[in-house]
Structure 1
Amino acid sequence: MVLNNDAGKQRWFPVYTNPRAEKKAYASLISKGVEAYLPLQKSLKQWSDRKKWVEEPLLKSYLFVHIAENQQAEVLMTKGVARFIYFSGRISAMPDKQIEDLKLLLASSLELEVTEEHLQPGEKIRIKAGPLKGLAGEMIAYRSQKQLLLRLESLGCSIIVNMAASFVNRA
């Protein structure tokens, strides 16, 4: 008999939330003592009488939890959490590096836009200059000389990064 030594190991799991409930689900998870990450970006919103900077989720209806597999039921019983994300019939886990890379992207001064287009895999790339120097990814397409598509396979989405094409090398 082989024991699963990973059963108690904490890993990052993407979680799908109810629509527009990301911040409430995040707060509920934190109050339960669950380590969670909600990537937020600031955007300027215009109302009829004023403009205001607000923090909105980068990935609509997604947040990430850092848990052991035996904590999944506790996460699902959290208000605002709809379900875990599945990939090939199993709950999708993300490498720590992808969460670190996402945090790095948000900490940079680059403009980010998320798309859920179904894109075909392309060349592996490495960023050679700028605030994201050393970051590896997969080139999906050029939108222009300053807009690149990088794929995060665990989420099934891509991130559009505004940066000069000259900052990228083939890996």
Structure 2
Amino acid sequence: MKREQVEGRGGWYCVHSQVGKEALALRHLQQQTFEAFLPLLARTRRHARRTDTVLAPLFPSYLFVHLDPQRQAWRSVNGTIGVVRLLSSGERPLRVPPGVVEALLAASDRRGLLQAERLERLQVDDDVRILVGPFADHLARVVRLEPAGRVRVLLEFLGGRVPVTLPLNAVRKSA
């Protein structure tokens, strides 16, 4: 399936993969005709006086699958090679909030590699909205841009300010 074919139907769901088997799970989900996405980062690796660049998952042990639970046999995702399980609540899979995976797709090339120039340019003191995780939809202020595509923010929480470090694509400039 092409990305354009899945728009408007279903949604994106999070798949927990076996450790280090994200690409294997991706390949087998795609062989079952599921639209799947594994966001990647280019990381520098140093070993024995050598330095090279490798592609590594943005979220180790997790990837995304697009499906319509009303029309597709979504339980087959759990039996896919490389997959531990589809994240769910009871008997229903948990949908990723709209816009999160789409933002990652927009900032990625065809391989799933995040392209820094496609991400919003953030600056210190920018107000941002957190897109994922337990603080999704909370507002925060950027205090530092860190290497490897991460950002340090101050989150207004329980009457105080809590410092949190997040992937750059986990926040979006607030309007």
User: How high is the TM-score relative to the length of structure 1?
Assistant: 0.61
Partner of 1:98: 100
Shift of 1:108: 2.7
Q: CA deviation at 1:110?
A: 7.9
Q: Determine the structure 1 residue equivalent to 2:77.
A: 75
- Paired residues in the alignment total 133
Deviates more, 1:102-111 or 1:26-35: 102-111
- 1:142: how far off? 3.7
Q: Deviations over 1:36-78 (max 9, x none)?
A: 0000111111121522211000001100011121321221111
Q: Does structure 1 residue 63 correspond to structure 2 residue 58?
A: no
Q: Are 1:19 and 2:19 matched, yes or no?
A: yes
Q: 2:167 aligns with which of 153, 160, 164?
A: 160
- Measure how far apart 1:29 and its partner are: 1.1
Percent identity at matched positions?
A: 25
Unmatched 5+ stretches in structure 1:
1-8, 112-122, 127-136, 152-156
Distance 1:100 1:46, change over 3 A: same
- Is the alpha carbon distance of 1:145 and 1:20 closer, same or farther for their aligned partners in structure 2, counting shifts above 3 Å? closer
Contact kept? 1:12, 1:93, Cα under 8 Å? yes
Deviation at 1:80, TM superposition (A): 0.8
User: Deviation at 1:160?
Assistant: 3.2
SS at match of 1:59: coil
Give TM-score scaled by structure 2 length.
0.60
In the alignment, residue 24 of structure 1 is paired with which amino acid? L
1:121-171: CA deviation from partner (whole Å, max 9, x where unpaired): xx7649xxxxxxxxxx643454427734499xxxxx973329xxxx95x53
Q: Residues 29, 148 of structure 1: CA spacing in aligned structure 2 closer, same or farther, 3 A cutoff?
A: same
Q: Secondary structure at the match of 2:15?
A: strand
Kept in 2, the 8 Å contact 1:25–1:80? The answer is yes
Alignment RMSD: 3.7
Which structure 2 residues correspond to residues 17-56 of structure 1 after superposition, within 5 A? 17-56=17-56
Amino acid at match of 2:117: S
Structure 2 regions of 5+ residues with no counterpart?
A: 1-8, 108-113, 120-126, 131-136, 156-163
Which secondary structure does the structure 1 equivalent of 2:117 belong to? Answer: coil
